[in-house]
Structure 1
Amino acid sequence: MLHTELASRLRTAFDDDRDAGTFLLRLERYGADLVESLEQVYGDQAPALLDGLIEVMLHAFHNRPADLRRLDEARLLRPDWLQSPDMIGYVAYTDRFAGDLQGVRGKLDYLRGLSVKYLHLMPLLKPRDGENDGGYAVQDYRSVRSDLGSMDDLSALARDLRGQGISLVLDLVLNHVAREHEWAEKARAGDPHYKAYFHIYPDRTQPDAFEATLPEVFPDFAPGNFTWDEAAGGWVWTTFNTYQWDVNWSNPDVFREFLDIILYLANRGVEVFRLDAIAFIWKRLGTDSQNQPEVHWLTRALRAATRIVAPAVAFKAEAIVAPAQLIHYLGSRAHHGKVSDMAYHNSLMVQLWSSLASRDTTLFREALQAFPPKPATATWGLYARCHDDIGWAISDEDATRAGLDGDAHRRFLSDFYSGTFPGTFARGMVFQYNPATGDRRISGMAASLAGLEAALETGDEVGISTSIARLRMLHAVVLGFGGVPLVYMGDELAMLNDYSFEWVPEHAADNRWVHRPLMDWALAEQARDDVNSPAGRMYAWLQKLVQARAATPHLHASVESRAVHSPDNRVLLLRRDHPMGVMLGVYNFSHEDVSFPTWALREHLGEQAEDRLSGGRLTFARPTLRLEPYRAMWLTEL
């Protein structure tokens, strides 16, 4: 129970008894999580920090708009809103999608055409001028990039989106700020209060000790993890780029600042925060300074405090880490269901492209079977590709169980998708080659990686159809896995690589811009008018997938997809055990017809099943079922 003295003191902060009751009930519900988490991280400093946080929370609660308060109540009544089968995400850069925030407001009909309910606009808070890591070097968390509009424009867009049942998702960069951020400027000016917001060392002693166990994120253009700053008079921790200063989360003032930012943006209408680079926020000597236990206590504290003020808000962890570490970002043991509500299933993306190249799903199955189960209250963010590169996050252990050499398979995938492997269909680019490790990540639009670019260049009609079939199958897996499917702008139209990035000075050194094109609105019109064009075929298929998904309760994200044995390694079988019955996803990753034994379907579904994608009914009386190349089926029990 909430301490009586504290409750009495807090009641004086309210003019309305109902508001007081609401705040105190939520504080009673989430206060223990908040206090315990703060104590675990900050020890004796926790009580003073809590007093300051309550002041921040009360201010935000009083300033929360009425329509967002109603949304809070609705979400408390439906806490599984992110897990619903009709939840579809769309991800875009504001300027590349529609010019600015006002332009996005004019494209809501397009988003409705895809049944979008979750719109992630990539970094739009004010970044530093010049190079800014695609917007992830934030100079001001309370301002919008000037060419995109104002904070009032953001609030207006959020209101319009809410009116259409669409949640606004924004990035919150937790690990670092731009060197030009107010905190960093004050630190460089010698203010000791703000110098304590960062990791600054007078000489190389400590940096060299840390470097002994730290990896390099961008070895090509940002080697090392520390940068000398003359004004600050020291070596500053800069994990990602010299102009991105890592903040010091061991300082409780940093925690208070970020909670204030979260609640400010939540009151502007942000419903989901993508917690960028969250794995890096706690530093520990002798480790890689990733995935440290304090990260999860900090996330739990931020979530608890946010739930007290704005329970409609959800957290999504941007943690591109090994599965054994990833599960902790959704909550394990003491943190079960108490940290982020959502996390990226990066492994799914990696295995999709791996199986597409090898035409074998053994590794896919082994990797999924080794995945720890997530909390039933959490969900995955799922995608065929993202704004980032594809790093071949394939463990040697998974590879060995699949009968592969991990290093050799990773080299094969880099060769295949960079277009150098004999017979490849892919057109991708190598990103961040690390000669020390042999690591070669890949950039490229999904359609170019799936073969459409090469087929169009040669006028190969069979190749065009085959590449579209590959894309359709990949998206069927994503939408049929159970989570929030994330469609990255342009993939719904099978858009190709955009090589014009090389002519933009701030983009030229980063070939990930090859898969961050300007939206082709003429192609979007063509897709609606010509269903036989590549864009038309892809767009129509995605609409069909979305409609089938919304009508399939088995895809509620509280249920996990399990990879089960397949008698043909070209075919992936994903089983979901839902109260409505079993669902079996069947996916042929081969360019060949497969005569698939029906006994392998009967043992999961019985003698008959419905294919939710075709609408047809199947009877498994014959010994085999023909699966055309890249065929996808969502089978449910009759």
Structure 2
Amino acid sequence: MNPNSLSDALTRHLTTIYQGVDGVDSDNHGQLGNKLIELMGLQQATTEPTRYVNHWDEKDCLVISYGDSVLQPEETPLQTLKRFLDRYVEDCISGVHILPFYPYTSDDGFSVLDYSSVNESLGDWSDIEAIAADYSLMSDLVINHCSARSPWFENFLNDREPGHNFFATASPDDDLSAVVRPRTNALLKEVETVRGSQFVWCTFSHDQVDLNFRNPEVLKQFVSIIRQYLDSGVRIFRLDAVAFLWKEPGTSCINLEQTHEVVRLLRTLIEHAQPDAIIVTETNIPNRENLAYFGNANEAHWVYNFSLPPLLVNSLITGDCNYLKQWMMSMPPARNGTAYFNFIASHDGIGLRPAEGLLKETEIDILVDTMQSFGGRISWRTGDQGQRKPYEINISLFDALQGTTEGPDQWGLQRFLCAHAIMFALEGVPGIYIHSLVGTHNDYQRVENAGHNRAINRHQWQYSELQARLANANSSEHQVFGGISELLKIRRQQSAFHPNATQFTLHLGSGLFGFWRQSIDRQQSIFCISNITSEVQMLNLSDINLIDNENWVDLISQLPCDGLMQSVAMEPYQTLWITNQVNG
């Protein structure tokens, strides 16, 4: 692609974004596009990106971690994190998502002070680059907001550059009644500036002030930031809270067309600069809205499968997979060049908005009550009618799966491994939170110290203690890590587990959740079946139509499943991966 055609593409994006925006002259869109090309270092001719190519396969799995989730004296946390990755998971994962590693003021990194620096308490850019040299590195682009104590905001208050017009403002008299909120605090915050009192927009907290993408200077800043991250080895960009990016009083201010067009523009720039780079949109919203960020294979390469955590946990605590099955049948296969990013635990919690319309309100209430009985906390949002509604459940996944709606039981470990066996087998790229990898419990002391519920699943391990527990065959950490790492090692050898391999839902009753995967070359089939109850369930092999002239084996137990067997007794929370072709 020559620079002129790239410039034309950017001009089309910019015209859609800035059409009708005061102060942005449509005659300057081409000039702005050329400036973006310069900031990305794309003045020379580049190769036209191929839209429908998968830059991932069955070997891909990411660990999600804070930069300081594992600590060791006399070493930067980022160095300790790499030490942990190299020793324990190098042979079963391909990449790592390091949660915001910048200087910040709140929200454990998501209230950024300076996008161009690494938090000194974590390390420096050389530590980031060392990790990026050995693993596919996902980094957060916290694009919707930054810290109210950032230099940009200080400049906003004092009418200086850069920052003069960098933040979204509104009047309390504007029609903001339809604005969708993930929080209960007031949307607008009054601040005193040298120009007088102004009301800045705060979608999340009053320490996180929303950026004003109506100002092209903000876009330029983020393109420069992206270039720096690419130069430091980042290959996967997580666009944090991007759904809220564009503000338009009188609308919901979520998922607006300008927001989608900004994602398209960033993709155009990123894939010309680095053809194998990946954009992931973090949109914790109802399922149909989330899927829209695939666009026409011209927006996100990956979208988070946000509905999976609440639906899967619901299935495992109720022993009924019907809601999970209905959702799965409704999910369109991701076309080549796009993929689902599957996860079942995160640094935040189990989001409930993605379950809206998929679980009945009574089911959500039962889920919330059960998680609270297991020590979980609830974060709230303000609903359309001003009512308080549960937004997410804050709990470690290991504690979330300690029992059922009947209470805790002896099947917690098996239930936890079952959840991951399901997730690892599903269409898409799996991401596993570091505290799920080792089965970390709720951290109540951290909640008390931090003063917010999300801290419950943000424990910090001393590396020596974690090593000791992983070495102790009787510890839950050893058993969890051993089970999960073994599943991952099996997974990465199976072509039918390619993120874009065919997937069909099986109908085996409410107690058995099953689906069929077939490799892209159609050589390998895997029937993935899990008992999601605390009772033995009988699987009739005739229900999954095993072809008689092929040898079938369960990849997990290595036991044969041949045509002479009429049924298999599945233990509570047991998973079978029955295949006709054993790889690895």
Provide the TM-score with structure 2 as the length reference.
0.89
Alignment partners' CA distance in 2, 1:193 and 1:498: 40
Does residue 1:272 correspond to 2:236, yes or no?
yes
SS in 2 for 1:576: strand
Does residue 1:145 correspond to 2:111, yes or no?
no
Partners of 2:211 and 2:218 within 8 A in 1: yes
For residue 432 of structure 1, report the CA deviation from its aligned partner.
2.6
Partners of 1:582 and 1:605 within 8 A in 2: no
Does residue 1:217 correspond to 2:182, yes or no?
yes
Partner of 2:17: 41
Which of 548, 556, 566 is residue 498 of structure 2 equivalent to? Answer: 556
Which of 51, 57, 65 is residue 37 of structure 2 equivalent to? Answer: 57
Alignment partners' CA distance in 1, 2:61 and 2:2: 29
Larger relative helix fraction: 1
Alignment partners' CA distance in 1, 2:127 and 2:114: 20
Go from structure 1 to structure 2 and tell me whether the alpha carbon gap of 1:282 and 1:412 turns closer, same or farther (over 3 Å shift).
Answer: same
In structure 2, what residue type is equivalent to 1:540?
G
Partners of 2:180 and 2:254 within 8 A in 1: no
SS in 1 for 2:528: strand
Alignment partners' CA distance in 2, 1:581 and 1:80: 19
Does residue 1:341 correspond to 2:301, yes or no?
yes
For residue 570 of structure 1, report the CA deviation from its aligned partner.
0.8
**Which consecutive unaligned segments of at least 5 residues does structure 2 have?**
none
In structure 1, what residue type is equivalent to 2:481?
Y
Deviations 1:425-472 (Å, cap 9, x if unpaired)?
x3322233769244263111111111189xxxx9x9xx45x1110111
Partners of 1:360 and 1:570 within 8 A in 2: yes
Partner of 1:415: 369
Partners of 2:3 and 2:42 within 8 A in 1: no
Alignment partners' CA distance in 2, 1:442 and 1:313: 32
SS in 2 for 1:298: helix
Does residue 1:94 correspond to 2:67, yes or no?
yes
Does residue 1:443 correspond to 2:443, yes or no?
no
Alignment partners' CA distance in 1, 2:172 and 2:545: 65
1:287-306 aligned within 5 A: 287-306=251-270
Does residue 1:239 correspond to 2:203, yes or no?
yes
**617-626 vs 243-252, greater mean Cα deviation:** 617-626
Partner of 2:190: 228
Partner of 1:285: 249
SS in 1 for 2:115: strand
For residue 549 of structure 1, report the CA deviation from its aligned partner.
0.8
Provide the TM-score with structure 1 as the length reference.
0.81
Deviations 1:65-96 (Å, cap 9, x if unpaired)?
xxxxxxx99x9899533x31111211111123
Go from structure 1 to structure 2 and tell me whether the alpha carbon gap of 1:302 and 1:290 turns closer, same or farther (over 3 Å shift).
Answer: same
Partners of 1:389 and 1:441 within 8 A in 2: yes
Alignment partners' CA distance in 2, 1:515 and 1:547: 26
Deviations 1:329-388 (Å, cap 9, x if unpaired)?
122xxxx11111112101111111010111100000111222233332112221121111
Alignment partners' CA distance in 1, 2:320 and 2:499: 27
Alignment partners' CA distance in 1, 2:554 and 2:6: 43
Partner of 2:330: 370
1:426-465 aligned within 5 A: 426-432=374-380, 436-439=387-390, 441-451=392-402, 463-464=409-410
1:523-538 aligned within 5 A: 523-538=465-480
Partners of 2:17 and 2:261 within 8 A in 1: yes
**Which consecutive unaligned segments of at least 5 residues does structure 1 have?**
1-24, 65-71, 400-405, 420-425
SS in 2 for 1:229: strand
Partner of 1:625: 568
Partner of 2:58: 85
Go from structure 1 to structure 2 and tell me whether the alpha carbon gap of 1:92 and 1:446 turns closer, same or farther (over 3 Å shift).
Answer: same
SS in 1 for 2:515: strand
Go from structure 1 to structure 2 and tell me whether the alpha carbon gap of 1:79 and 1:607 turns closer, same or farther (over 3 Å shift).
Answer: closer
In structure 1, what residue type is equivalent to 2:142?
V
Which of 80, 93, 116 is residue 116 of structure 1 equivalent to? Answer: 93
Q: What's the RMSD between the two structures over aligned residues?
A: 3.0
In structure 2, what residue type is equivalent to 1:123?
P
Alignment partners' CA distance in 1, 2:560 and 2:388: 50
Matched residues, percent identical?
Answer: 20
In structure 1, what residue type is equivalent to 2:510?
N
For residue 606 of structure 1, report the CA deviation from its aligned partner.
8.1
Aligned length: 563
Partners of 1:315 and 1:341 within 8 A in 2: yes
In structure 1, what residue type is equivalent to 2:439?
A
Alignment partners' CA distance in 1, 2:65 and 2:548: 39
